[in-house]
Chains A and B, each alone.
Chain A
Amino acid sequence: ETGVTQSPTHLIKTRGQQVTLRCSSQSGHNTVSWYQQALGQGPQFIFQYYREEENGRGNFPPRFSGLQFPNYSSELNVNALELDDSALYLCASSQIYRGSTEAFFGQGTRLTVV
């Protein structure tokens, strides 16, 4: 196992609601990235946090926001959910700034918006 855990594993929400997904990164990793993977697609980068600050963002609207905490765990928040937000949300932890770019993924949260 990677040591990266996400919660919850599955979630069903109604259009317009808000959701918070959580990720505990691998011990010693200081960088957390979030990805959205729609069915039949590769993971798409949402944003990345390094030492509690966002330091990169993909092509996602502002209603996707996040946090990283002092223990390097992280949250992904999505407001005003849309049907197209239904996807597998993956959290990856890494030590990019220590010369390694290998990322370790959590098992993902499968979000269904109805």
Chain B
Amino acid sequence: RKEVEQDPGPFNVPEGATVAFNCTYSNSASQSFFWYRQDCRKEPKLLMSVYSSGNEDGRFTAQLNRASQYISLLIRDSKLSDSATYLCVVNTGNTPLVFGKGTRLSVIA
């Protein structure tokens, strides 16, 4: 089983739609959780950290369920500029980041 597993993509959604990405992780000792965004042929960039209480940043909401080892990202009112690959990332204290395979999102006009 892979350490971090994500929904297979691609997700093709119309502008204005709400889309949700799911991610599970296998290491129960994982302490930090992130969503990164990666545009085509570019480097990953931090979208948001994920906290146990859940957190929101504008149209983006991240949730963490430690008991189920599950992370989610919700994007409301999708924009064309949201088209990218979204990477679920975890790490355990001072260990390196462990990335999921990523889920590709295409927002269509």
Contact = CB atoms under 8 A, between A and B. Distances in A.
Interface of A: 2, 33, 35, 40-45, 48, 56, 58, 88, 90, 92, 96-97, 101-108, 110
B99 A43 contact: yes
Given A90-B44, A108-B43, A33 B96 contact: yes
A45 B43 contact: no
B80 interface: no
Contact of B43 (A41, A90, A101): A90
Interface of B: 4, 32, 34, 41-46, 49, 87, 91, 94-102
A96 B32 CA distance: 12
Nearest to B32: A101
Nearest to B49: A102
B99 A101 contact: no
A107 B95 contact: no
Contacts of A96: 94
B37 to A, nearest CB: 11
B96 A56 contact: yes
A45 B94 contact: no
B105 to A, nearest CB: 15
Given A42-B87, A48-B96, A56-B96, A105 B43 contact: yes
